[in-house]
Structure 1
Amino acid sequence: MIRQLAFDLPTRQGYRREDFFVSPANAVALAAVDDWRNWPGGKLMLVGPPGSGKTHIARLWAAETGATCLPASDLATADLPALAAAGAVAVEDAQTIAGQPAAEAALFHLHNLVTPGGRLLVTAASPPRDWGLTLPDLASRLQAAPVARIEPPDDALLSAVLIKLFADRQVTVPPTLIAYLVQRMERSIDAARDLVARLDALALAAGRPITRQLAADLLGRAD
């Protein structure tokens, strides 16, 4: 089984497949990306909320295929023929270019240069129909692409994320605390990173271990 946390850890450089934790929230999307040889038209949309692991999955795919990864915000000034020449490209956070004519046109041209002979992976927080694109030809091409969706993290994924984040800080906490946090925290990977960092800082400042009471104090709860 693949085990990897699909997000960026502050203490780890790079993106390793062997650390990946597969849960029902991300398993279908990961499988779709791994099936890149069979993408219809050579393209795939990878959609998920911020911090859900889109970048990590994109980098795993790039490592396997030799693809170039770049943020969509860089498209307007990018060397599109050079990018396309590699045969595989990942464009990240594509929703950010909506309403920017030069960037939208660049993604349209890159799409035409890369597909269908090559592979184009586009990541975004939402499907293209929700971006507010102003270039109809780009909108139609992206909306025709198959979509792999990462769902909000479930309890299993959030628990694994919290355990890993604490371990990276060399902090051991009881399983009951993990369950307590999962039921009360904001349900996102970014929130998990922030929560662990804040708990660690609070515990160090107070000279005490991370306990349920410390977590309750931080979360503003009396239970």
Structure 2
Amino acid sequence: MIFDLPLRSSQGREDFFVAPANALALATLDTPALWPQRRMLLIGPEGAGKSHLAAIWAEEHRAPLARAADLTDDLAETLARAGAAVIEDADRAAGQPQAEEALFHLHNLMQAEGGELLITAATPPRDWRLTLPDLASRMQATAQVTIAPPDDALLAAVLVKLFADRQLTVAPALIPWLVTRMDRSLAQARRLVAALDARALAQGRAITRPLAAEVLDSLA
């Protein structure tokens, strides 16, 4: 019997693999005292590690975390009272008047009270199509740090972590074999491991190169 159980990904600092692609982002988040106006925008594609870095920062700074699309003025005031906050997926608030107004309200509250604000997004603010001019101006003026595309070492480390999160054991040689054949994105790494897990369970097979080749073909 196969159960679709929720997957808990380890999100501690010790679980974050530092590589050239993300080293600058990590170093920037470790020095919030240097952020202009105590705000920082963390940019990176899906699966790049933004949520992991945000979770590390939130835990270490005792900062509540919320998604931009869920923001209201009341929630913004609650977050501001904490003195530090994380807002994820700010680009997804674009076109939602309540969320845009609340994010602008949160900016103002944090600036007035000297709080620290970390915001994540997949793309720069110029690409969000914000409808609130004041918010667009604030976001474009916010300091930014970007997670670069992953290199081989980072892809390999992420694959190892993803397999470990699912309690899957694979041959060490399979990791570099996958790295040279998969699309070079961390989002693809997540999809690949999930697909390997699902097919191995469904067919009662071990995760080997033949199975991996079948899954790579299906994803392509």
What is the TM-score normalised by the length of structure 2?
A: 0.87
* Aligned residues with identical type, % of pairs: 57
| Alpha-carbon distance change, 84 to 11 in structure 1, aligned in 2, over 3 angstroms | closer
Paired AA for residue 218 in structure 1: V
- Aligned 8 A contact 2:16 2:52 in 1: no
> Structure 1 stretches of 5 or more lacking a match?
1-8
Separation of aligned partners in 2, 1:130 and 1:192 = 25
Query: Judging changes above 3 Å, is the alpha-carbon distance between structure 1 residues 195 and 140 closer, same or farther for their aligned structure 2 residues?
Result: same
**Contact 1:70–1:90 at 8 Å: present in 2 too?**
yes
User: Is residue 11 of structure 2 the alignment partner of residue 10 of structure 1?
Assistant: no
Which residue number in structure 1 is paired with residue 60 of structure 2? 64
Q: 1:59 to 1:200 in 2, by over 3 A?
A: closer
Post-superposition offset of 1:174: 3.1
Residue 204 of structure 1 deviates from its aligned partner by 4.1
| Aligned position for 2:118 | 121
Q: Which of 135, 140, 146 in structure 2 is aligned with 1:138?
A: 135
Q: What is the TM-score with the length of structure 1 in the denominator?
A: 0.86
Residue by residue over 1:193-216, the C-alpha shift from the partner in whole angstroms, topping out at 9 and shown as x without a partner, is 221232233334444432222222
User: Measured at CA, do residues 215 and 37 of structure 1 come closer, stay the same or move farther in structure 2, by a change above 3 Å?
Assistant: same
Number of paired residues?
211
Look up the match of 1:33: 29
The alignment partner of 2:40 has SS state of strand
| CA distance in 2 between partners of 1:207 and 1:81 (Å) | 51
Residue of structure 2 equivalent to 1:170:
168
Structure 1 residues 17-45: Cα deviation after superposition (integer angstroms, max 9, x where no partner):
11110011111111111111211111000
Match in the other structure for 1:155: 152
How far apart, in 1, do the equivalents of 2:128 and 2:88 lie? Answer: 14
- Verify: 1:107 aligned to 2:106, yes or no: no
CA–CA distance in 2 between the matches of 1:100 and 1:73? 7
**In 2: Cα distance, 1:141 partner to 1:77 partner:** 17
Task: Please state whether the residue corresponding to 1:44 is helix, strand or coil.
Answer: strand
Say whether 1:209 aligns with 2:206.
Answer: yes
Helix, strand or coil at the partner of 2:86 = strand
Structure 2 distance, partners of 1:102, 1:92, is 16
Root mean square deviation, CA, Å? 2.0
CA deviations 1:107-162 (Å, max 9, x no partner) are 11110100261111111011111100111111111111110101222211110111
Gaps of at least 5 residues in structure 2 are 1-5
